[in-house]
Amino acid sequence: MLRKPRLRERLGTGKSGWIRLPEGLMKSLEDLRARLDVLDRQLLEIVAERQALGKEIAAAKRSTGQSTRDFRREREVLLKARRDAEALGISPALAESILHSLIRGSLTTQEQARVAAQGRGTGRSALVIGGRGKMGRWTADFLASQGFRVTIADPMGEVPGYEWFPDWEATDLGHDLIIVATPLKIANEVLLGIARRRPKGVVFDLGSLKTPLRTGLAALRDAGVRVTSVHPMFGPDTELLSGRHVIFIDLGSHEALAEARALFESTMADLVVMELEEHDRLIAFVLGLSHALNIAFFTALAESGEAAPRLARMSSTTFDAQLDVATRVAAENPELYYEIQSLNAYGEDAVGALKAAVDRLARAVHEHDEAGFVDMMLRGREYLMVRKAALGREA
């Protein structure tokens, strides 16, 4: 019986053991890759055309007073993409993923066009104290897109495209808006300094926590300054604000609150108003607990004794998802994350809850308490289902 040659024997190998393709097959492979390059270019050209259409759609929606986002239309587009994919013999999930990314790109274009067209800052000025930082720079760009004449005050250096002062106290504070985007550890002193000068413009901070700023915010309020406090619940790399939250703290000045809210009303962000104490109590779990969980996760990995290259070869759906989140947390500013943990008056409650949960889990495993372990799973499932139902009702 004749033996069929192995793949390596049919194709031949070099001295290194790598498969050596026949010259004709190699040429064919290069031709196929060249065709792929052409198709990739054509795809990008179509995406560019789609983005341009997005700007026209944004203008049409503004002229008729329609909102930027139409969830029913999005659903129709995604369902049609799945049907078309099946007819073309490609994965419906792949088609939905591609269209979802394109929709987000289109919404980003429309949102930015709407913000710019609103022109709330035309003829007005804004001072961003701490504008060299990432969130300060985002805020400066966001205000500039609305037509504000933006000045940045930051001892760390100037930002191209903006008037700059190394010291905010050297400015006259004669601005329509004054935004404090400094690190939390100095923000309260800045607010106190502004209060002593009693500017006429609206003042607000961008702090992730509000209880450390109590005295500064109170001083501004008592000085008769139009003051509020803002917390954008997203990072400086965010482009599309749909599904994001911006929190506003009501400090008694309805005019300041309305002015700050108006800056974001042309976006698709969810605007939430709450009291100062409620904000930090909730943030202790929304940010403090989630940050602590991920810091504990990657610390446990780093100190486990398992080499990163070995673990890199392992994969599971849950592990990969957790690694993705933990990697993003690890890349953030350690000093900022320390402030969020240490300066929140309610921070120990959240971290304490995490420690108690880990201790309970470890005890259930150590004592072979299956019933206790199952109870933790079921209680967590019930809580998450209630939360999901609540979100569904709000939508």
Can you give the CATH number for the domain in which 360 is found? 1.10.3660.10
Question: Of 41, 54, 27, nearest to 108 (Cα)?
Answer: 54
Tens of pLDDT, residue by residue over 210-219, are 999 999 999 9
Judgement on whether residues 262 and 344 belong to the same structural domain of the protein:
no
pTM score, whole prediction: 0.76
Quote the pLDDT of residue 7.
Answer: 42
Identify the CATH number of the domain in which residue 106 sits.
1.20.59.10
Quote the pLDDT of residue 4.
Answer: 45
Residue 152 within any structural domain of the chain: yes
Helix (H, G, I), strand (E, B) or coil at 270: strand
Structural domain of residue 154, as residue ranges? 120-274
Helix residue ranges, H only, 121-238: 134-145, 184-197, 214-222
Judgement on whether residues 144 and 218 belong to the same structural domain of the protein:
yes
Judgement on whether residues 211 and 340 belong to the same structural domain of the protein:
no
Q: How many separate domains does the chain show?
A: 3
Residue 2 within any structural domain of the chain: no
Quote the pLDDT of residue 18.
Answer: 53
Judgement on whether residues 256 and 141 belong to the same structural domain of the protein:
yes
Pick out the chain residues at pLDDT < 50. Answer: 1-16
Let me know: does 206 contact 230? Beta carbons within 8 Å.
yes
Judgement on whether residues 265 and 299 belong to the same structural domain of the protein:
no
Question: Of 355, 142, 131, nearest to 238 (Cα)?
Answer: 142
Identify the CATH number of the domain in which residue 147 sits.
3.40.50.720
